[in-house]
A and B are shown apart, each in its own frame.
Chain A
Amino acid sequence: MTYRLELEDITKEYGNTRALTGVSVAIPAGQVRGLVGENGAGKSTLAKIIAGDVRPSSGKVKLNGSESSYLTPATARKAGIGIVHQWGDLVPTMTVEENIFLGNEIRGALGALDKAQMRRKAKAVLQELGVDVDLRATVSELSPAHRQVIAISKALMLNCDLLIVDEGGVSLDKKETVLLHAVLRKLRDQKVTIIYISHLLDDVVALSDEITVLRNGALVETLNARATTARELATAVVGHEVGATQHALESGAAKTRGPLLDVAGLSWMRDASEFSFSVGEGEIIGITGPEGAGKSELLRTVFGLMPATQGTVTLGGERLARRDPRQMLKAGVAFVPEDRFQEGLMLNRSIEENISLPTLSFQSRPFLRKGTLRDSAARKADQIKIRMASVEARAGDLSGGNQQKVVVARWLEDGYRLLLLDEPYKGIDIGAKQDINDAIRAMAIAGRGIVVISTEFVELIGLVSTLLVMVNRRIVAVLKENKITPQEIVRYYQYEVDDPTPAPENARIAPART
């Protein structure tokens, strides 16, 4: 049997870190191949290698049975390989027709655009995919699913017969997912090979023929999608051994004292569901879910960075009606934003200045006491184990993990009651993650309430006493203490959960039909 694409023993190293180790995958023509794994498992590196954006360190690539040199974006395109990026393929200010042919226009006489032919071809492709979109509509007016379809049509215009769809199902609701699946199935029936990357396991199980599972940059197994349930897939994705990380819970963090934060019926969009949860003093709660689930939006709404359409936030019995960063800090709520470069750090200032920043507005005297600030910053840096020359060093010179520690270190001592952390583990190494978790525990023991949001739920296991699982802008599960295991969490990663109670054992979502 010849395969459309074969990867043999592919390894990719970035400096000292290995993104992929000896991965071999063979995909027959006309198959939908699911590609799943946790964050950092190597999915996107593998996709980039296939699309030619990244060169593997070693290993072989075969196309249609014959060996090929490593692909570049240009040769990949020539070989009929197209990729639909998670976002960023379309120009939102331009029309559907302009986008489909962007960079690949059909020209007629005198090099002018042959608009009639483009319109005809675009119409034909959309009709084939069974989608009705006005070619003159501006892309920014389209639904997320239609945007995906337009991005796919754009790739098809380059005559590709191997299509990589990166996180296509994210931020689509059920109806839209059905539409996307129908389109991709039609393509498969026309012998287009599809590699479908997704966090949403049900989405992958429903659509794929076979599913390749990656973990820590290595191939775990390739499963037959028809004989696999989302639950089995979840086990394969997270592995069996992870379930046992229940050790740290016995530390004092579990002793909650009084109620602190109460969020009731909060919402940030007219159509989003309402969110309610509460945090006690000394309690750590976590919120997880796939990318695009609305976790960040929820936290930002609580902190007042996004306007709420309804609902209340109460802190220590006092309702916080007007919320903005200044008011929230005054009330004793601190926030560590997701994007430490844009919103968290002043990269060209010293570590000391970065750590001291939020405390400046609390002090009563007009002049800064530099000595005190420095001692306090050094103490905090020490406690969270920032590896640095001195607190005078530039924050921009630190490694990613140490930069994140600087942002968290700000809140180690000073007068606040509740800390909100948005994706604190993003792009940092395991050692730094542990140091940050140690710091979070210390803060909780000191009586503060803490909310941690992370896509990397493995880090939250053993840290939080309550874990909310969010999918598609809804809380689909509230897990407590020993119920917080990877398998429990991942089984809620479905594109639609009608009933937040656990589904029956073999409730595989049937392939959607139109």
Chain B
Amino acid sequence: MIGSDNILIKSGTVFESSSGKEIVSDILIQNGIIRAIEKNINVEGISKDLVVLNCQNYFVFPGFVDMHVHLREPGNEEEEDIGSGSRAAVRGGITSIACMPNTNPPVDREYLVNYILSKSRLIDFKIYPVAAMSKNLEGKKMTEIGLLKEAGAIAFSDDGKCIQDSKLMYEIMKYASHFDLPLILHEEDYSFSNYGLAHEGYYSAKLGLDGISPFAEELMISRDIMLAKMAGAKIHITHVSSKGSITLIKRAKEAGIKITCDVTPHHLYFNDSFLESYDTNLKVNPPIRSEEDRKALVSAISEGIIDAIASDHAPHFEAEKNTTFKDAANGTIGLETLFKASYTKLVREEKIKLSKLVALLTTGPAKILNIKAPAIKVGNKADIAIIDLEKNKKIKKEDFCSKSKNSAFIGQNLYSEVVYTINNGRLEFINKSC
């Protein structure tokens, strides 16, 4: 069954991209292309190798786009590689990802962009490379933005790091604006985050962890809003974490600045009280912030200030997390829980519309990256995630297929389970436990 490109999705609740409507329908896929979306498709006479997926109790969504993923290849393949990362993505119903350039070496030259693209073609999975803004991510010298774009970079970012040199940032913005590519900005003023391990607040005081003030993020967002306004650049603030950041972005949007932003499921799901266990899987940068901040992120989703939800999938091998909180690396894996965690928190708990969530995982990020969003439409190549929304399971370390298991969600009860994923027209994943 796996690998088949002749598929009949039977009686699924289809999430139609154009209208946002939910209709119970069949979908016929032939040679990877969506041929029909109709009730009770008659398959008589259609080739014998047609795979029929009975989807009566399942939702059928367009494949998700995760615009913030660390694939660790080249350089740290023991943590993740392009192949394992893609398999983890497919398991999470994701069929397109943008990968960050902080590999080893960092993606700051054309051949590295080419390397990722060739791998992507080889495994037949849509990977959009994001290239570095500064050489070797050092924040000192601009990369060859024009050449990198021509090689296939879809955006620029120094993610994991933030360029402290404001003049350099300004020059990058001015130059990048010629190529109309977004700059994905990890915002962090180091003077406010040095030594920091946790959100500066009640829990950092209680737990004796050095604090990271929200100023670390907000000061840099303020700076970059000012610079982007002058430079006419397209900026995208990634993994926004604080209430103050939301206010700044909201105002900038109202002022007509070309600014977008994303949040991660873990910032939407957790607050800093979870750190009482000193669980190193919750050590992320920016840090998990207070309940007040978390609520502000959720409201920002309702208000339409947030443009995308992205996982910031950051694999780390065991020894980097199985240590003290101070010594542990930053980051959580997130591909396999991107939908589950967001759905559980936003739709089940916070009563945000399912269509809103789906937009933030499909059309939202696609628009930011200026790529074609996967859509369930006749004539399109099939990128489809079929999900059982009623399933509820406690997340276990053993359940992940990513090479690294450092998930912040281990131990949490999450709703929904991806049952099938169709990627690039082919049935790529079947969840045997469903």
User: Is B a genuine binding partner of A?
Assistant: no
